[in-house]
Amino acid sequence: MDSQTEDIKNQNIVENKELNIWEALIPVLILMGLLAYNIFLKEGAWLGDYSNQYILLMGGGVAAIVGFYNKTSINTMIAEIWENLKSVFVPIMILFLVGALAGTWLVSGIIPAMVYYGLQVLNPTIFLPASVIIAAIISIATGSSWTTSATVGIALIGIGSALGIPTGMIAGAVISGAYFGDKMSPLSDTTNLAPAMAGTDLFTHIKYMTITTVPTILIALVVFSILSFTIDTSGNADVSGLLTTIDATFNITPYLFIVPLVVIALILTKTKPLIALLTGVVLAAIFAFIFQPDILTSLADSKMNAITTAMLTDTSITTTNETLNELFSSGGMSGMIWTILLIACAMVFGGIMDGIGALARITKSLLKMTDSVFGLFASTVISCLGLNAIASDQYLALVIPGKMFKKAYEDKDLAPENLSRTLEDSGTVTSVLIPWNTCGAYQSTVLGVSVADYFIYAIFNWLSPFTTLLFAAFNIKIRQLKDARKAAK
């Protein structure tokens, strides 16, 4: 477990006896109401391009007023905001590097090469399930859904778009596979964090997760297979034209795959993601000079300026095909600013909610509402889902319920792996379904597909909480604490 995850694990949960449940819910209800108004009635532009960011800050302001009323000091709130912002420093740096990566991988010909060869290998009739499997393999190997999306995810979106497959479906397939792999990989931070919070060991946790996770991903694969056979892939007939255009615009060679292979190899050898991605940016810049000098010359008055522009700002490469023109464009680092500000504002709101004790109060109230085993599982799921929306961070959606519900599971004679599995089934995988959550904001930006467009197709992610509740309702593989202790002897 890395130092950042260790810090999250040891995070203090603020409680406030002065605060009642209705007061704790006031900021949440106002935030949800304003977000709904902005999304459904103002088409997301009520306060301009940064409406969601302003709304999150407004929700934070309401939470601060509730906190003042309940004797919470401004210093406590600021301290929690700072802790939250510190926790997303590395993800923000990763986002900037992903922006630079997208730009340099475009001008170096890496992304076009992926599309070029992918169009010849991935048939539309198997594309979606193949995307799930490819993303799952990479994510298991790297332990990171974020790295998976930033590498093979971008390539699969490009290939699928060229084939005429809706981007929402492709993104849903990539995210389903990526989060399956992330959830099952021993290298994943959340896969280490969940058992640490629940009180079980890593490999017991992974083994127990297969009970709900494997059926869920199999259902997702069946659905994606059916979709692949039934969708109208209008781009399929034009593949030869696309290949000709890509070949005429870029110098396509298998040597370009050295860069993504190096990045994946670095991740596999547990190199820090920042170093791995930075290496990918530097290598891509070098490869651009070697393989795409004409592209660089056409973009700026000097090759170095073209590389710098690709890393920092908008870059578009014009071809004779409109589909490819849209595909071969990148926003660089500047294209990540909207997402980074959304994450920062979400952390401000979540920090104030934590600082005034609202998160702990809401979770405790859920805990008091249950007196059955199924009710305990349901309360855990609701708590994780709610915290993904309120705290806007998947780590807090694991840490807070993990700490709050641990004793309740013991009191019901339930083995700790029941809790760790439920945390992952409802906390880890649903974070990507919330637009202002760090994961939802990241994935939608990197893949270039809004959460609204991929939500229904992220089948594995939204189905997982239902699967875990179904198993709990029918008492399927719900391990008792006494049985776990016997097995450990």
If one counts every other C-beta atom within 10 angstroms of the C-beta of residue 86, the result is 12
DSSP state of 459: H
Token code pair at residue 443: 């994935």
Token code pair at residue 83: 């802790």
The per-residue pLDDT for 237 is: 45
Q: Which amino acid is at 58?
A: M
If one counts every other C-beta atom within 10 angstroms of the C-beta of residue 481, the result is 16
pLDDT by residue for the chain (489 residues), tens digit each? 455 555 555 566 677 778 899 999 999 899 888 888 887 788 778 888 888 889 989 999 999 999 999 989 999 999 999 988 887 888 788 889 888 988 999 999 998 888 888 878 778 888 999 999 999 988 887 778 987 888 789 889 988 988 889 999 999 999 999 999 999 988 788 888 888 888 888 888 999 999 999 999 999 999 999 998 888 765 444 567 778 888 999 999 999 999 989 988 887 787 887 898 899 999 999 999 999 999 999 999 899 999 999 999 988 898 887 767 877 888 889 988 987 888 888 889 888 998 999 888 888 887 777 778 899 999 999 999 988 988 778 887 888 888 888 888 888 899 999 999 999 999 999 999 999 888 999 999 989 999 999 999 999 999 999 999 999 999 988 888 776 666 665
CB 426, CB 379: distance < 8 Å: no
Distance CA 53, CA 56 (A): 5
Distance CA 97, CA 263 (A): 13
If one counts every other C-beta atom within 10 angstroms of the C-beta of residue 311, the result is 24
The per-residue pLDDT for 450 is: 93
Distance CA 6, CA 166 (A): 40
Distance CA 470, CA 190 (A): 23
Strand partners, 330: 315
CB 405, CB 379: distance < 8 Å: yes
Distance CA 66, CA 83 (A): 20
Q: Which amino acid is at 282?
A: V
Distance CA 421, CA 443 (A): 23
Vertex 168: Cα angle to 310 and 314 (nearest 5) = 15
Distance of CA 17 to the CA centre of its chain: 34
The per-residue pLDDT for 260 is: 87
Q: Which amino acid is at 67?
A: G
For residue 409, give every residue at least 6 positions away whose Cβ sits within 8 Å of its Cβ, in sequence order, or none. 198, 376, 415, 416, 418, 419
Q: Residue holding tokens 């799952």?
A: 136
Question: What's the longest Cα–Cα distance across the chain?
Answer: 72
The per-residue pLDDT for 152 is: 83
Q: Specify the DSSP element, H or E, that contains 329.
A: strand 329-330
CA dihedral 132, 133, 135, 136 (to 10 degrees): 110
115 closest CA partner among 106, 103, 125:
106
The per-residue pLDDT for 431 is: 94
CB 168, CB 457: distance < 8 Å: yes
26 closest CA partner among 59, 74, 73, 52:
59
Helix (H, G, I), strand (E, B) or coil at 156: helix
The per-residue pLDDT for 138 is: 82
482 closest CA partner among 424, 412, 408, 404:
412
Q: Residue holding tokens 């995810």?
A: 153
For residue 347, give every residue at least 6 positions away whose Cβ sits within 8 Å of its Cβ, in sequence order, or none. 81, 84, 85, 87, 88, 392, 393
CB 467, CB 215: distance < 8 Å: yes
254 closest CA partner among 121, 101, 163, 97:
121
If one counts every other C-beta atom within 10 angstroms of the C-beta of residue 75, the result is 9
DSSP state of 432: G
Token code pair at residue 319: 């071809």
Enumerate the H helices of 292-393 as residue ranges: 293-299, 303-312, 322-327, 337-355, 358-368, 373-390
pTM, rounded to two decimals: 0.79
Distance CA 423, CA 397 (A): 8
Distance CA 211, CA 477 (A): 8
Q: Residue holding tokens 């806007």?
A: 392
Q: Residue holding tokens 């992330």?
A: 182
Distance CA 314, CA 325 (A): 13
